[in-house]
């Protein structure tokens, strides 16, 4: 179950909030709990515990619960202590039964968005918050479709969470200097469908490399149990556990001492290392640079709490799968903790940055297509992309913007990079009327562009791009909507 705040600590935290603030918090907790109309017993227990800590009488609590269930008087205070307490409470209510279904996710996204948290930041908070993990009722956590009528944030005007600006993904500013394969051939409208190298090495060679990577036991090492211990996710029951927020392990065989890049961080892989530990669940990118300037890359999805075993073949410079017996042996060792000393830690300080860049990618439909041209529907290039190519599907537009950036920078694919530049510049061709048609889309698009621009070198932002970003921020500001004005503020900060 979810780790809960102790009653004395919760009461002390609630005492720092005004009486009206405590009413706002409880009303919103009830709003989240009633997303499925019926409140499960576990969520009812959480509501009662919070009602008591918030010093709300049963009669007043019943009235506030009815208002929250009817979506009435939903407001969020601007004081940080109230927002922190509210975020803690809505996550605890939504996860009280160990599950997070789509309706609960929608309301979490709406409330967190009103407090200035993007979907990526919300997911990162969930990953840090839970120690046991969640099991989804309807599949993995995906970004909510931006046209969803239920994605309506409570009224609020407050600053978002500040993030440190990380080092750029690209060392230089000249986009023509990007190495990679030549332009893809094919029909003008054919998607690129970019992927990293697919492992095709001979199975015998992979098994030989895997056996050579087995750690040599030392005299003081404890014996490995013959009976595998119960995996940590077994207590969660059967079904899809891809939303469980427990980290997993990436076991890499056949790698000697070298530097490798996992997501946004460079890791020094030593002779004794056999992989990476505490890898967050989800989509990841692994790259190994070769002396000739080329690189071997691998995109992979790591299920929550699980281990993934890969073998690198120096001859073919590709990653592949080991023999089933080898894979099962290493998975068992990872479950039992026998590989803990041989696994390098995942750089958790960049985990939030990676989630912000990949939150709109669906591992089940990966890689998404990249389009070479857009259908001329509408007056601007953004309308061509959004209404023409993606037929008004805002989520599909966000997915292509995400993948074009990652394929262009991490995979060094020039066509993908050119497509991202086109989408970036197209996103700046907006007016206030276009933004008002789908405010949620432009909040998410702005947050995504801010995350991407933060990884580019300072020399990337020339005068034309800076002016385009100003046009977009002015259009967001002109709507007068608080969450769009906050998005404008974030964009101006990203290009400052």
Residues 360 and 324 grouped into a single domain: no
15, with CB counted inside 10 A (0-12, 13-18, 19+), is exposed
- The pLDDT score that the predictor gives to residue 34 is 86
Each residue of 124-172: pLDDT tens digit?
666 555 434 444 443 444 444 443 334 344 444 333 322 223 334 443 3
Residues 19 and 86 grouped into a single domain: yes
CA distance 289 to 392: 39
Please indicate whether residue 127 or residue 213 has the higher confidence score (pLDDT).
127
Residues 368 and 285 grouped into a single domain: no
- The pLDDT score that the predictor gives to residue 444 is 84
pTM: 0.63
277, with CB counted inside 10 A (0-12, 13-18, 19+), is buried
Each residue of 382-441: pLDDT tens digit?
999 999 999 998 889 999 999 999 999 998 899 999 999 999 999 999 999 999 888 878
Query: If DSSP codes are grouped into helix, strand and coil, which group holds residue 392?
Result: coil
- The answer to whether the CB of 421 falls within 8 A of the CB of 373 is no
Query: If DSSP codes are grouped into helix, strand and coil, which group holds residue 75?
Result: strand
Residues 361 and 473 grouped into a single domain: yes
Q: How does residue 330 score in pLDDT terms, banded at 50, 70 and 90?
A: very high
DSSP 230: P
The residue with tokens 């009528």 is 149
Residues 210 and 340 grouped into a single domain: yes
Each residue of 358-369: pLDDT tens digit?
888 888 888 999
Residues 390 and 484 grouped into a single domain: yes
230 in a structural domain = no
Please indicate whether residue 152 or residue 81 has the higher confidence score (pLDDT).
81
Which structural domain, as residue segments, surrounds residue 270?
Answer: 203-217+241-346
Residues 306 and 378 grouped into a single domain: no
Neighbouring CB atoms inside 10 A of 177's CB total 9
From 53-62, 321-330, 478-487, the region with the lowest mean pLDDT: 478-487
Each residue of 225-277: pLDDT tens digit?
222 222 222 222 222 222 345 788 999 998 888 889 999 999 998 888 999 99
Each residue of 83-134: pLDDT tens digit?
888 888 888 887 776 666 666 766 777 777 666 666 666 766 665 554 344 4
- The pLDDT score that the predictor gives to residue 4 is 47
470 in a structural domain = yes
- Looking at the structure of the chain, the number of domains it has is 3
- The pLDDT score that the predictor gives to residue 155 is 45
Residue 416: which of 183, 108, 151 has the closest Cα?
183
- The answer to whether the CB of 472 falls within 8 A of the CB of 446 is yes
- The pLDDT score that the predictor gives to residue 126 is 64
Residues 339 and 451 grouped into a single domain: no
Domain boundary among 322, 346, 370: 346
CA distance 306 to 248: 5
Above pLDDT 70, what percent of the chain? 69
373 in a structural domain = yes
* Average model confidence (pLDDT) across the chain: 74
Residues 341 and 359 grouped into a single domain: no
- Does the pLDDT at position 26 exceed 90? yes
- Does the pLDDT at position 381 exceed 50? yes
Residues 330 and 387 grouped into a single domain: no
Q: How does residue 59 score in pLDDT terms, banded at 50, 70 and 90?
A: very high
What is the rounded average pLDDT of the residues 12-38?
87
CA distances 39 to 65, 104, 397, Å, are 11, 12, 36
CA distance 389 to 374: 5
- Does the pLDDT at position 71 exceed 70? yes
CA distance 61 to 26: 8
Report the C-alpha dihedral over residues 145, 151, 153, 159, rounded to 10 degrees.
Answer: -10
Q: How does residue 47 score in pLDDT terms, banded at 50, 70 and 90?
A: very high
Above pLDDT 90, what percent of the chain? 33
Distance of CA 285 to the CA centre of its chain: 13
- The answer to whether the CB of 206 falls within 8 A of the CB of 313 is yes
147 in a structural domain = no
Report the C-alpha dihedral over residues 315, 321, 325, 326, rounded to 10 degrees.
Answer: 60
- Does the pLDDT at position 294 exceed 80? yes
Residue 122 backbone phi and psi in degrees, to 5: -65, -45
- The pLDDT score that the predictor gives to residue 40 is 84
């Amino acid at each position: 179950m979810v780790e809960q705040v102790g009653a004395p600590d919760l009461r002390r935290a609630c005492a720092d909030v005004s009486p009206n603030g405590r009413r706002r918090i409880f009303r919103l907790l009830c709003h989240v709990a009633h997303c499925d109309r019926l409140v499960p017993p576990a969520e009812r227990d959480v509501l009662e515990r919070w009602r008591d800590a918030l010093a709300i009488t049963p009669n007043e609590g019943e009235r506030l619960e009815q208002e929250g269930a009817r979506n009435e008087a939903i407001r969020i205070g601007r004081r940080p202590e109230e927002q922190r307490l509210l975020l803690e409470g809505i996550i605890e209510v939504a996860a009280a039964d160990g599950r997070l279904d789509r309706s609960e996710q929608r309301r979490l996204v709406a409330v967190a968005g009103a407090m200035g948290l993007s979907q990526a930041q919300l997911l990162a908070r969930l990953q840090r918050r839970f120690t046991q993990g969640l099991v989804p009722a309807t599949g993995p956590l995906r970004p909510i479709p931006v046209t969803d009528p239920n994605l309506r944030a409570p009224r609020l005007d407050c600053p978002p969470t500040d993030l440190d600006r990380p080092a750029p993904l690209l060392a230089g500013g000249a986009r023509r200097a990007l190495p990679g394969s030549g332009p893809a051939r094919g029909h003008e409208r054919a998607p690129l469908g970019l992927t990293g190298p697919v492992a095709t090495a001979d199975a015998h060679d992979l098994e030989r490399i895997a056996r050579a990577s087995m750690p040599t036991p030392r005299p003081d090492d404890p014996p490995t149990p013959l009976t595998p211990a119960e995996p940590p996710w077994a207590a969660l029951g059967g079904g899809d556990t891809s939303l469980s927020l427990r980290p997993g392990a990436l076991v890499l065989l056949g790698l000697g001492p070298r530097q490798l890049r996992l997501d946004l961080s460079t890791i020094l892989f030593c002779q004794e290392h056999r992989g990476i530990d505490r890898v967050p669940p989800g989509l990841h990118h692994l790259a190994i640079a070769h002396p000739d300037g080329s690189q071997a890359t691998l995109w992979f999805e790591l299920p929550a709490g699980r281990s993934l075993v890969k073998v690198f073949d120096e001859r073919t410079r590709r990653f592949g799968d080991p023999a089933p017996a080898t894979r099962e042996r290493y998975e068992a060792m990872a479950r039992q903790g026998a590989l803990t000393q041989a696994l390098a830690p995942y750089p958790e300080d960049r985990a939030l940055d990676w989630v912000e860049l990949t939150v709109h990618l669906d591992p089940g439909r990966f890689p998404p297509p990249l389009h070479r041209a857009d259908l001329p529907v509408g007056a601007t290039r953004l309308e061509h992309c959004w209404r023409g190519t993606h037929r008004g599907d805002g989520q599909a537009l966000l997915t292509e913007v995400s993948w074009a950036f990652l394929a262009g920078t991490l995979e060094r694919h020039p066509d993908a990079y050119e497509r991202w530049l086109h989408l970036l510049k197209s996103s700046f061709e907006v007016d206030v009327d276009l933004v008002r048609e789908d405010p949620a889309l432009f909040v998410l698009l702005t947050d995504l562009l801010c995350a991407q621009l933060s990884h580019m070198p300072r020399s990337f932002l020339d005068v034309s791009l800076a002016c385009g970003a100003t046009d977009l921020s002015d259009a967001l500001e002109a709507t007068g909507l608080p969450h769009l004005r906050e998005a404008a503020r974030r964009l101006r900060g990203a290009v400052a």
